[in-house]
Structure 1
């Protein structure tokens, strides 16, 4: 089963730049306080690449992974030539090893997993791939409230905000929030709401 069974590929086919081109608000917040030129960054579950491209334009060496070939093709069509290293693969199969990343981004990814245990496993893998003093930037649905009318057939895995915080015990959490996101998507224009966990955390030496 693909983690994109929620119907994102339908949206990508119906409306290239489904997520728009504006960088995510949590990425913007991180950039207000951190210099990334020369950093190695992993964008895990990059979608159509708006965050990956924005980070690469600031001088980072960005690897962007998504299991949707449609999303990655939309990214290349929308942004043209850039220095992002695009990879079509499933983040659940990422292997630790090699040089770790300075920043790992998981934006809208973790609630697409199939269970709380799978979320925990992927978070642990992303943490393993992070350099000491490096950062994780997490944005995911939590279990507080959702209107899924705009996502027919989507069954996200919803865990409490506190669970995400617990996954980052031992890290320095510099920002976290549990707030509602009101949005609509361009392929159906149905207003809806999601409760969102947003988290920025730094891996500290133990």
Structure 2
């Protein structure tokens, strides 16, 4: 998706309208009127309303994948890498909470090719995340008495449930919530017969306290 102020204005207007009126009940004309642009300007960046709905989530997908690749490339102990990934996906999901909420409510209305593209990209992210958990299992750090798929679902269910309870009072609340949820997940991964606190645990909280 090409980025410009016009595209950002259109997406912002679409998110607000889709949230209040629903995707099916919102027309392209209402979107361009709210964004203060012409249909021609919108169609320069989005081929259709379907393309616009995909574009709303594309920003989040692309950002999280870029961050994931950068964190993994930086290397480090699996605890530190996985913790950084968890905090990032939570923080970015909160930052784009409205976009994510609108998308998941309307995803079933996407065209089949677009829906398959979203599934493919989310699965690619999931596979890299799962590989980190598997690495921790292979190193004897994480439990293996629970299926890997269940462990992964446990974390991402918290991510997807954010819109039902999260309300930001201060900007720093975003990081605090991300760290706390990550702490709970990392604790749940530990083998019951091993007590090996991660150096990343104290470090992440120290970084938050210093803000």
* TM-score normalized by the length of structure 1: 0.23
Radius of gyration: which is bigger?
A: 2
More strand by share: 1
* TM-score normalized by the length of structure 2: 0.23
